[in-house]
Structure 1
Amino acid sequence: MEKQKVKQLIKSYQQTYIFAMTHIHQAISEISANTVDLSIEQFFVLREIATGDEISATELSACLNVNKSAITPKLKKLEEKGYIRRERNKHDKRAVVLTITEKGNSVYEECEKQLELLVNEWLEILGEEDSEQFFELFQKINKSVVKPKK
C-alpha cells in the first residue's frame, strides 16, 4: 500500500478511536455519575468478567492484552465496590478466580445497554449494507491481525 494511504489510514484510525472512546467514556460516565462510579477501564474489566463463568487475573490480563500488574488495581477497586469477588477455583484450590456479583452484573448490564445504544446509533448512520461490510471487515481484522498476536 502506498505511503500516503497508510498515513491516511493511521489518521482515520486515530480519529475514530478517539471519537469512539470519548463517546463510550461519556456514556459510562453518565451512568457512573448517577449510580456507580466506574471508569471505562474498570468497565472493560467488569465486562470480561461478566461475559465468562470464572476467570483468573492472568487470563483476564491476556484477554485485555495488558500486564497483570495493570489489572490488579482495577480488580481491587471493583472488589471494594462490591462488583466482583475473588473465590477459590473449584478444581484447583490453590488458584483464585474472579466472578461477578449481583450488584456488578446489574452495573454491567446498565453500561452494556448504553454501549449497545451508542453502537446502534453509529450503525444506523452507516446503513445496513455498510454496517454488514464493516462487521465483516472488523471480524477479518480481529481474526487475522488481533487474535494471532495473543
Structure 2
Amino acid sequence: MDQHREELNRFLVEVFHDILKTEELALSSSKKELSLRELHLIEEVCRAEDQGLDNRATAIAAAQRVTAGTLTTAVSLLERKGYLIRCRDEHDKRVVRILPTEKARQANRAHERFHEEMVENLLSFLTQEEAQVFVRALGRVSLFFREKMFSACAEAEAEA
C-alpha cells in the first residue's frame, strides 16, 4: 500500500504542476500581458455575468478565495489593461459590480478552448466506463481538497 501512496502523491504533485505549467505556456503564446491568476479572475467575472451570478466585488472575491483588498488590486490592474470595468449598481450606489470587456471575452474564449482541448484529449483515450469511474474518483478528490481548504480557512479565521 505504501507504494500506491508514493505513486499517488507523485502523480498528484506532477499532474497539478503540469496542468498549471501547460496552461501558462498556452497563455504566454496568446495573451502575454496576462498572468494565469489574472486570467482566472477574468474567467470568474465572465461566468458571473453569463450565468446571472452575483458579480459584486465581494462575491467575486469570495469565489476566487481572495481578500477584498487582493481583488481590488487585481481588478485595478485589469482595468488599466482594458479587461475589466467596475460600475456602480443602478439601484444601490454602494454596490460595485465587475464586468468583462470585449477584450476579456476574447481572452476567456481562448482559455476555454485550451480547457476544451485538454478534456477532449483526455476523453479520447478512455472508454465510457473508464471516464465515468475517473470523473467519480476526481469528484471525491475534489471534495477532499475543498473540505481541507474550508477547514484551513475556518482555522485561520478563528486564530485572527
Q: TM-score if structure 1 supplies the norm length?
A: 0.80
* Cα offset, 1:108, TM superposition: 1.0
Q: In the aligned structure 1, how far is the partner of 2:129 from the partner of 2:110?
A: 29
- Whether the aligned pair in 1 keeps the contact of 2:31 and 2:107 (CA below 8 Å) is no
Deviation at 1:127, TM superposition (A): 4.2
Summarize the Cα distance change of 1:125–1:27 in structure 2 as closer, same or farther, 3 Å threshold. farther
Tell me whether 54-63 or 10-19 shows the greater mean CA deviation: 54-63
Stretch of structure 1 that moved more, 122-131 or 58-67: 122-131
User: What is the SS of the residue equivalent to 2:38?
Assistant: helix
- 3-state secondary structure, aligned to 2:97: strand
Tell me the distance in 2 between the aligned counterparts of 1:143 and 1:91.
38
Classify 1:13/1:31 alpha carbon distance in 2 versus 1 (closer, same or farther; 3 Å). same
Q: Are 2:39 and 2:108, in contact at CA under 8 Å, matched by a contact in 1? A: yes
Between 45-54 and 58-67, the greater mean CA deviation after superposition = 58-67
Q: Tell me the distance in 2 between the aligned counterparts of 1:128 and 1:31.
A: 33
Bigger mean CA offset, 93-102 vs 127-136: 127-136
Structure 2 counterpart of 1:110: 110
Q: Once superposed, what is the RMSD of the aligned Cα atoms?
A: 2.5
Q: Secondary structure at the match of 1:17?
A: helix
Following TM superposition, by how much is the alpha carbon of 1:4 offset from its aligned partner in structure 2, in angstroms? 5.6
Larger radius of gyration: 2
The alpha-carbon deviation at position 95 of structure 1 amounts to 1.2
Note closer, same or farther for the CA distance 1:18–1:49 as it changes in structure 2 (3 Å cut): same
State the 1:12 CA deviation: 1.7
Which runs of 5 or more structure 2 residues have no equivalent in the other structure? 154-160
Answer yes or no: is the 8 Å Cα contact 2:86–2:97 preserved in 1: yes
Relative contact order (alpha carbons < 8 A, sep ≥ 6): 1 or 2 greater?
1
Aligned with 1:82: secondary structure? Answer: coil
Structure 1's 86 and 16: CA in aligned 2 closer, same or farther, altered over 3 A? same
TM-score in terms of structure 2 length: 0.76
